[in-house]
Every structure is written in structure tokens, then in C-alpha cells.
Structure 1
Amino acid sequence: MELKFKVSSRVSKPIEEVFEAVADPKKLSGYFTTGGASARLETGTTVTWDFADFPGAFPVEVVEVEKNRKIVLRWDAADGNPAEQGQENVAPADYKTTITMTFEPLDGNRTLVTIAEEGWRETPGGLAASYGNCQGWSQMLCALKAYVEYGINLREGMYK
């Protein structure tokens, strides 16, 4: 069984605005990377993301960016789910997973955002980590929608 998932959300804003909310580090830090994002997502760069719920900035490789269409990222896999076990009980794995975000324009200046992640090893720890990341990306889409449509940061105070 291949460990992968895909989550989607419709955001009631034009594709350019939704894409920028992910690619721009200041905007991304306003609703998702609550500990900060170091730089803009551009092909071939490595940025760092930090989260209040899992402190400690970590590298995110930017594999590909097609403006207003797609962002492909790679980052270190984990062995286990920090949401279930606490971050201190999750071991880093010696491989990476791949995240693909796609942005599709819809009628009425709406945007369909889809996030897929794949590449975990077929182990109990890989399965747990994939579930945790599926939860995290689902929360990211909810937070993105609230931030872009209403200016609300859903993650503020959620973890502290």
C-alpha cells in the first residue's frame, strides 16, 4: 500500500491572491507558519518554516514553482505522528516526502487548492506520520481560506 493523500479546498478569491498567500513568506506566516517563514517560495531555493506547535525551524526544499499554478516542495519525513506522541517521541527519518500544491481557477473568481503529499515508507511510523501531515495540511487549507477571505488567523492561540 502506497502511503499518500490529497486534500482540497475552494477559496473564494482569485487565483493570484490565493497563490501569493502561499508563496509570500509574510502572508504564509500570517496564518500557517506561525513561527515564521524565511523566504519566498522560488524554484531551487531552500526556505525554513517554523510553527508555534512544533517549534524549531526546519528546511523546506522548493523543487518547482509555476506561478498561479503549482508549488512542489520536499522536506524530511518523520517516523511517527507528533500530534499523537509529542514531538520529543518522533524520530526523524532518513528520507524526504514530496508535497505538490496545485491552484486551479474556478468560476466566480474562486480557486481550488489541492495539496498532495507522498513518499512515506510503508511502516507503522510512516503511516502515523502521513496521518499527522494529512491533518496538518487540512488545517492549513482551513486557515488559508479564513485568512484570505476574512483576514482571520485560525491558528493564533490554537497551540499555546
Structure 2
Amino acid sequence: MELKFKVAGRIAKPVSEVFEAVVDPAQLSRYFTTGGAKGRLETGATVTWDFHDFPGAFPVKVIDVVKDRKIVLQWAANEGAAETAGYDTTVTMTFEPVDNGRTLVTISEEGWRETAGGLKGSYSNCEGWTGALCAMKVWLEHGINLREGFYK
């Protein structure tokens, strides 16, 4: 069984605004990377993301960026242990205009090993990306940082 998932949600903002909220580290740090993000998401770049709930900056490899359409990233797989699992997973985000100027954001992740640890890591990241979509929606539509104080 291939370990992968897909989550999606609609945000009441135009695609260009939603896309920019992900690629711009200053904006991403306001609602998602609670410890900060360094580096703009551009094809070929390696940026860092830091989360209060998982202290320590994570390197994120930016594989592909198509403005207002798609972002593909790779980062170290986590299998629930204190250290990374020694391989990367691939995250793909797509941005699609839908009715009334809204944006459908879809986030998928794949590439875990078919082990108990891989299954645990995929479930954990599915939860994380679902939270990220919720936080993005609340931030962009209402200016509220949903993650502030949530983990600590």
C-alpha cells in the first residue's frame, strides 16, 4: 500500500493572493511556520521552516514553482522518531480559481516507506497540512493567527 494523502480547502481570496501567502516567508511565518520561515519559495532554492511544535529549522527543497498554479517541495520524512528517517517525501500544492473569486488549495504528500513508522509519519503530516489549510484560511480571510499559542 502506497502511503500518501491529499487534503483540500477553499479560501475566499484570489489565487494570486493565496499563492503569495505561501511563497513569501514573511506571510508564511504569520500563520504556519510558527518559528519562522527563511527564503522565498522559488524553483531550485532550499529554504528553512521552523515550527514551535517541532523545534529546529527544517530544510525544504523547492523542486518546482509555477506562479499561481503549483509548488512542489521535498523535505525529510519524519516517522515519529526524534530524528528524520533518512529519506525525503514530496509535497505538492496546487492553486485553482473557483467560484466567486475563491481559490481551491490542494496539498498532497507522498513517498513514505511502507512501514509502521512511515504510516505514523504520513498520518502526522496529514494532520499538519490540514491544520495549515485551516490556518491559511483564517489568516487570509480574517487576519487571525490560528496557530498562535496552539502548541505551547
**Which bracket does the TM-score occupy, shorter chain normalised?**
over 0.9
Provide the residue aligned with 2:85 in structure 1. Answer: 93
One-letter code aligned to 1:130:
S
Q: 1:151 aligns with which of 143, 146, 149?
A: 143
Name the % identity: 68
CA distance in structure 1 between the aligned counterparts of 2:103 and 2:64, rounded to whole angstroms: 20
| Deviation digits for residues 56-90 of structure 1 (CA, Å, limit 9, x no counterpart) | 0010000000000000000000122xxxxxxxx43
**Which 5+ residue runs of structure 2 have no aligned equivalent?**
none
What's the TM-score, normalizing by structure 2?
0.98
Provide the residue aligned with 1:26 in structure 2. Answer: 26
CA drift at 1:48: 0.3
| Deviation digits for residues 2-41 of structure 1 (CA, Å, limit 9, x no counterpart) | 0000000000000000001101000000000010000110
CA distance in structure 2 between the aligned counterparts of 1:35 and 1:90, rounded to whole angstroms: 18
| Deviation digits for residues 88-115 of structure 1 (CA, Å, limit 9, x no counterpart) | x433111100000000001211000000
How many equivalent residue pairs? Answer: 152
Q: Provide runs of 4+ in structure 1 moved above 2 Å.
A: none
CA distance in structure 1 between the aligned counterparts of 2:48 and 2:144, rounded to whole angstroms: 23
**Which 5+ residue runs of structure 1 have no aligned equivalent?**
81-88
Provide the residue aligned with 1:83 in structure 2. Answer: none
* Aligned Cα root-mean-square deviation (Å): 0.7
What's the TM-score, normalizing by structure 1?
0.93
Q: Are 1:6 and 2:6 matched, yes or no?
A: yes
Q: Are 1:138 and 2:125 matched, yes or no?
A: no
Provide the residue aligned with 1:121 in structure 2. Answer: 113
